[in-house]
Amino acid sequence: MPGEIHALLGENGAGKSTLMNILTGIYQPDAGEIIIDGYAKEFSTPLQAIASGIGMVHQHFKLVQAFTVAENIHLGWSQTPRRASAQVLEQRTAALAEKFNLKTHPGARVSDLSTGEQQRVEILRVLARQARVLILDEPTAVLTPTEARELFKALRQFVAAGNAVIFISHKLDEVLEISDRISILRGGRKVATENTAECNPRMLAKLMVGRDIVPADMRRRPADAAPMSTDPVLSLENVSAIGDAGNETLHGISLDVRAGEIVGVAGVAGNGQRELSEVLTGIRPVSAGKILIAGKPVGKSNAAAFAESGIGHIPEDRLHSGLAPALSITVNAVMREYKKPPVSSGIGYKPGAATALAKEIASAAEVSIPDFAMPIRNLSGGNQQRLVARREMRIADKVLIAAYPSRGLDVGAINTMLRYLVELRDAGAGIILISEELDELLNLSDRIAVLFEGKIMGIIDNDKTDIDEIGLLMGGRTQVREVA
Amino acid sequence: MAGSLRLQRLPSASPGIVLAARAAAIVMALVFAGIILAMTGANPIELASEVVDASFGSSFGMEDLGVLIIPLILTGLSVAVAQQIGAWNIGAEGQFYAGAFAAAAVGLFVPGPPALILALMFVAGLVGGAVWILVPTLARAYGNVNELITTLLLNFVAILLVYFVATNAWRDKMANSATPRLSAEIPEFWGSIHWGLPIAILAALLVTGLLAFSRWGYEVRLVGSNPSAANYAGVPVRRHLITVMLLSGAIAGLAGMLEIAGTVHRLQGGISNNYGYLGIMVAVLARSSAVGVIFSAALMAFILNSGIILQTQGLTTSTVLAITGLILFLTAIGDELAHYRIARDKA
């Protein structure tokens, strides 16, 4: 609607991005139509969507890093003068920036700009093409709070001129602050559209995650299960870590897990989960704080040493970091135990013994494999994941870090994975389960820690919580009770 | 309904099919070459029998092949070893010269019994090659600088360095463009084939064995295939990258040492005969398998030798180069096609 900021709220995989890709002409709808100014439109290419005044600012900017701001603005634009000097482009850019009230440095190289400035260039580029509907995908994810405030100011000015904004986010506070109306997507359906004035965080959280949770039967332990220990087997004390981009992505995390306990880590993906799992397994060094394994502080982070002290790791992206897809099933299966007999003796490596061990792991994983020399990428994702899980369970005497163990799997394979975790818990290992599936977390975990922007918002006892509280924490709200 | 035929891409091809595709590619290349030769007015059948006769019909022909195989095995092995860790060593040519240069320095200026000198030259060759790849290796390991370009550029430095010393400071007073004959030489065991041949074959077998049957080999294969998985498994990725690249350089340096100590006996410009660059082709043909290098080096030696014979029959070097290129080109196509099979749609 003209003059409106409409927020789109939903979990990962709720269909936000798909919907926007349809609006911007990247995907085509199977059914239904897009109506703009009362006319039905069909976009078979992104260019047609742009011509109709729809502009999208993606979460990951699509700018040419080596070009100047002015060059990026004029790239692939029909109104770019055919013959233009850098000066002319910069003047035009300065004029545009003036018109839309977005401060930029037309002559600066994009690679020299901060993320906030880059986002402004991206928005300016979209606006310059006469966009009347501006779609922003998680725009504040990359911004500092100050930059976010500036963005909000620019957006308000834009809608005040009779344009519209679609604002995609999972952060409850900012959605409440900026939007006029809110639509909530869940599982590919719109579950509600409300005026923001009539919304509160609790209600949004409920709508966002709200579904009936099957009672937590997987938390019940059989009589012969190992009891939960009183002392933690693995603890983090005020641990911070630096992300790949060089900025601190984990801030003072304190978390511990006891033997025979499953600790869930909830949160929207990208809030530090990857860094957390890497810190817990010794792949990523800590920048502050310390890690204790069975009460003893660990020196320098070292993935091999962590594995040897009994910490297994099901990584979030098995093909990228947990397996060598082009190498044989045998090579991949013995990745954790190749240093020990029987696979090696001294400096030697025994392919025969390695295949024997691979067969053992495959039979525990109930995967039938015709040829162990075959590259592991030929297996299905479910079978790969079972093999990884079994491989890691063998070494995880103390703790297993399972990052999104059910991601990309079908229901049957998911159940197998969860059964494995329960089996390991009952055998007396501690488990840290990082997941975005709340049902999964509530069904399995004894305690749930909620991660938001690299901080733990709270660690809650599963018996004393409900899904709304977790939803609020995931949206960055700490004061649960304060909510009206 | 019968269903339509379509091409289906398989994620991996079986070695048997790849081998068959290879053989077909080589045969096709030879057929093409024959057609081109016929068009230039030559009689391809006659030329072919000439080539086969000259290569395998006499002990001289076999000796020529043997002498060519030695450096090709080692430069091919050098490139193949670097491939194992996921690096492209385009600098085997330069490392070959550097190894030859270092070995020649020992052979020219260190006095002593020939056996000791030979042993020192052997070490000097290895070290010379490794030193030549040291800077690209460190740049790749610590600065993620693409080794493809750095190793390539250093080739020119090494080539010109050898030209310079061979025509200036180390020049033989009698010959203008080469050093004096070296004091020590590798004995020959069959005609002009020297003991470098068993050494080269042994090196290829040794590397094959290490890769398959040692923990080091396992870790190297893991790093080469997926560095982040290796990192996850706690393998020291950077250390392996450095050692393997240095090994690759040392092997190419050894090729240079064997060439001057066994075949040429002097240091001079152009001693490499492009063996370093041909090593890339040898490694590609062997699909970076260390043991496969022995066979592809033999094939390459045969092609080179045929080229020399053809030149005596009045063909130009460019024709010979074109045939070599054809084989590589068709092999690449064959490798890709081996991934496809024709499937029938169940419609």
φ/ψ (deg, to 5) at A403: -100, 115
| pLDDT confidence band for B227 (50 / 70 / 90) | very high
Q: How many domains does chain A have?
A: 2
Please check whether residue A304 lies inside any domain of the structure.
Answer: yes
Confidence at residue A307, expressed as pLDDT on a 0 to 100 scale: 92
**pLDDT above 50 (res A255):** yes
Residues B97 and B271: their CA atoms lie apart, in Å, by 8
Of the candidates A199, A231, A257, which is a domain's last residue?
A: A199
- pLDDT mean across residues, chain B: 88
Across the interface, whether the CB atoms of A335 and B222 are under 8 A apart is answered yes
CB contacts, 8 Å: A323 with chain B: 226, 229
Residues A299 and A360: their CA atoms lie apart, in Å, by 34
Lowest mean pLDDT, pick from A76-85, A173-182, A284-293, A314-323 = A76-85
- Per-domain residue ranges of chain B: 63-314
Please check whether residue A481 lies inside any domain of the structure.
Answer: no
Show contacts of B335-340: CB within 8 Å, 24+ apart.
B335/B13, B335/B18, B335/B21, B335/B22, B335/B287, B337/B21, B338/B13, B338/B17, B338/B18, B338/B20, B338/B21, B339/B9, B339/B10, B339/B11, B339/B12, B339/B13, B340/B7, B340/B8, B340/B9, B340/B10
CB contacts, 8 Å: A320 with chain B: 226, 228-229
Prediction pTM value: 0.77
What is the distance of C-alpha A119 from the center of its chain? 20
DSSP A149-172: HHHHHHHHHHHHTT-EEEEEES-H
Task: Please say whether the beta carbons of A230 and A414 come within 8 A.
Answer: no
**pLDDT above 50 (res B2):** no
Nearest to A335, CA basis, from B208, B207, B210, B226: B226
A146 and A233 assigned to the same domain: no
Residues A190 and A6: their CA atoms lie apart, in Å, by 14
Across the interface, whether the CB atoms of A347 and B216 are under 8 A apart is answered yes
Average of per-residue pLDDT across B292-300: 91
Q: Which residue has the tokens 């055919």?
A: A82
List, in order, residues 6 or more apart from A133 with CB less than 8 Å away: A36, A53, A54, A55, A163, A164, A165, A166
**Between A42 and A293, whose confidence is greater?**
A293
Across the interface, whether the CB atoms of B230 and A324 are under 8 A apart is answered yes
**Which chain A residue is nearest to residue B15, measuring alpha carbons?**
A374
A340 and A459 assigned to the same domain: yes
DSSP A425-475: HHTT-EEEEE-S-HHHHHHH-SEEEEEETTEEEEEEEGGG--HHHHHHHHT
List, in order, residues 6 or more apart from B117 with CB less than 8 Å away: B106, B107, B110, B183, B184
Task: Please say whether the beta carbons of B79 and B282 come within 8 A.
Answer: yes
CATH topology for B63-314 is: ABC transporter involved in vitamin B12 uptake, BtuC (1.10.3470)
Across the interface, whether the CB atoms of B212 and A349 are under 8 A apart is answered yes
**pLDDT above 70 (res A47):** yes
Average of per-residue pLDDT across A251-280: 90
User: What's A65's DSSP letter?
Assistant: T
Question: Which residue from A349, A350, A375 is facing B11, i.e. has the nearest CB?
Answer: A375
List, in order, residues 6 or more apart from A295 with CB less than 8 Å away: A231, A232
Question: Which residue from B217, B221, B232 is facing A321, i.e. has the nearest CB?
Answer: B232
SS3 call for A93: helix
How large is the ipTM? 0.82
Across the interface, whether the CB atoms of B215 and A327 are under 8 A apart is answered no
Across the interface, whether the CB atoms of B225 and A326 are under 8 A apart is answered yes
Confidence at residue A478, expressed as pLDDT on a 0 to 100 scale: 65
Question: Which residue from B215, B225, B231 is facing A338, i.e. has the nearest CB?
Answer: B215
Please check whether residue A204 lies inside any domain of the structure.
Answer: no
Across the interface, whether the CB atoms of A344 and B12 are under 8 A apart is answered no
Q: Which residues, numbered 219 to 238 in chain B, qualify as contacts with chain A under a Cβ-Cβ cut-off of 8 Å?
A: 221-222, 225-226, 228-235
Task: Please say whether the beta carbons of A115 and A143 come within 8 A.
Answer: yes
Locate B270 and state its tokens.
């152009």
Nearest to A185, CA basis, from A212, A207, A213: A207
Confidence at residue A217, expressed as pLDDT on a 0 to 100 scale: 63
Confidence at residue B343, expressed as pLDDT on a 0 to 100 scale: 67
A186 and A151 assigned to the same domain: yes
Confidence at residue B1, expressed as pLDDT on a 0 to 100 scale: 42
| pLDDT confidence band for A13 (50 / 70 / 90) | low
Task: Please say whether the beta carbons of A436 and A269 come within 8 A.
Answer: yes
Task: Please say whether the beta carbons of A134 and A53 come within 8 A.
Answer: no
Nearest to B259, CA basis, from B73, B120, B60, B59: B73
Across the interface, whether the CB atoms of B232 and A327 are under 8 A apart is answered no
**pLDDT above 80 (res B344):** no
CB contacts, 8 Å: B222 with chain A: 324, 327, 331, 335
Residues B335 and B17: their CA atoms lie apart, in Å, by 9
- pLDDT mean across residues, chain A: 84
Q: In percent, how much of chain A has pLDDT > 90?
A: 27
Please check whether residue A427 lies inside any domain of the structure.
Answer: yes
Give just the sign of the alpha carbon dihedral A62, A66, A70, A76: negative
Confidence at residue B3, expressed as pLDDT on a 0 to 100 scale: 52
Test the A interface: residue of B232, B238, B288 with most A CBs within 10 Å: B232
Please check whether residue A88 lies inside any domain of the structure.
Answer: yes
A35 and A172 assigned to the same domain: yes
Exposure string (b/e) for A144-178, b if CB count within 10 Å is 16 or more? Answer: eeebbebbbebbeebbeeebbbbbbbbbbebbbeb
A185 and A225 assigned to the same domain: no
Across the interface, whether the CB atoms of A349 and B221 are under 8 A apart is answered no
In the beta sheet, which residues pair with residue A193? A183
Across the interface, whether the CB atoms of B234 and A348 are under 8 A apart is answered no
Residue B5: how many CB atoms within 10 A of its CB?
A: 10
The pLDDT tens digits of the residues spanning A129-145 come to 888 888 888 887 767 77
Confidence at residue B109, expressed as pLDDT on a 0 to 100 scale: 92
**pLDDT above 50 (res A484):** no
| pLDDT confidence band for A77 (50 / 70 / 90) | confident
CATH at A113 = 3.40.50.300
Nearest to A136, CA basis, from A150, A161, A153, A155: A155
Please check whether residue A147 lies inside any domain of the structure.
Answer: yes
Of the candidates A168, A199, A230, which is a domain's last residue?
A: A199
Confidence at residue A64, expressed as pLDDT on a 0 to 100 scale: 86
Nearest to B171, CA basis, from B240, B36, B268, B283: B268
Average of per-residue pLDDT across A264-278: 88
Lowest mean pLDDT, pick from B43-57, B245-259, B295-309 = B43-57
Confidence at residue B347, expressed as pLDDT on a 0 to 100 scale: 40
The pLDDT tens digits of the residues spanning A19-29 come to 888 888 777 77
Residue B245: how many CB atoms within 10 A of its CB?
A: 26
Which residue segment(s) compose the domain that A151 sits in? 5-199
Across the interface, whether the CB atoms of A283 and B231 are under 8 A apart is answered yes
Confidence at residue A211, expressed as pLDDT on a 0 to 100 scale: 54
- State how far the alpha carbon of B208 is from the alpha carbons of A48, A99, B64, B244, in Å: 58, 68, 26, 13
Choose from A148-152, A173-177, A190-194, B258-262 the range with maximum mean pLDDT.
B258-262
Confidence at residue A482, expressed as pLDDT on a 0 to 100 scale: 41
Confidence at residue A213, expressed as pLDDT on a 0 to 100 scale: 44
A348 and A250 assigned to the same domain: yes
Residues from A in contact with B at Cβ < 8 Å: 281-283, 302-307, 313, 315, 320-327, 331, 335-336, 338-339, 344, 347-351, 374-375, 377-378
**pLDDT above 60 (res A479):** no
In the beta sheet, which residues pair with residue A430? A399
CB contacts, 8 Å: B9 with chain A: none
Average of per-residue pLDDT across B124-130: 97
A169 and A237 assigned to the same domain: no
**pLDDT above 70 (res B46):** yes
Q: Residue B71 region, left (φ>0) first, then alpha (ψ -120 to 50), else beta?
A: alpha
**pLDDT above 50 (res A91):** yes
Across the interface, whether the CB atoms of A322 and B234 are under 8 A apart is answered no
**Which chain A residue is nearest to residue B225, measuring alpha carbons?**
A324
Nearest to A11, CA basis, from A449, A467, A417: A467
CB contacts, 8 Å: B85 with chain A: none
Q: In percent, how much of chain A has pLDDT > 70?
A: 95
What is the distance of C-alpha B132 from the center of its chain? 17
**pLDDT above 90 (res A335):** yes
Exposure string (b/e) for A429-449, b if CB count within 10 Å is 16 or more? Answer: bbbbbbbbbbebbbbbbbbbb
- Judged by a CB distance cut-off of 8 A, whether residue B206 touches chain A is no
A176 and A250 assigned to the same domain: no
Nearest to A69, CA basis, from A101, A117, A115, A116: A117
Residue B297 identity:
A
Question: Which residue from A305, A324, A338 is facing B226, i.e. has the nearest CB?
Answer: A324
Average of per-residue pLDDT across B245-268: 95
| pLDDT confidence band for A210 (50 / 70 / 90) | low
- State how far the alpha carbon of A255 is from the alpha carbons of A448, A453, A472, B320, in Å: 10, 16, 20, 69
Residue A201: how many CB atoms within 10 A of its CB?
A: 22
List, in order, residues 6 or more apart from A339 with CB less than 8 Å away: B215
Please check whether residue A206 lies inside any domain of the structure.
Answer: no
**pLDDT above 80 (res B131):** yes
> What stretches of A330-436 adopt beta strand conformation (E)?
344-345, 348-349, 399-403, 430-434
Please check whether residue A211 lies inside any domain of the structure.
Answer: no
A315 and A443 assigned to the same domain: yes
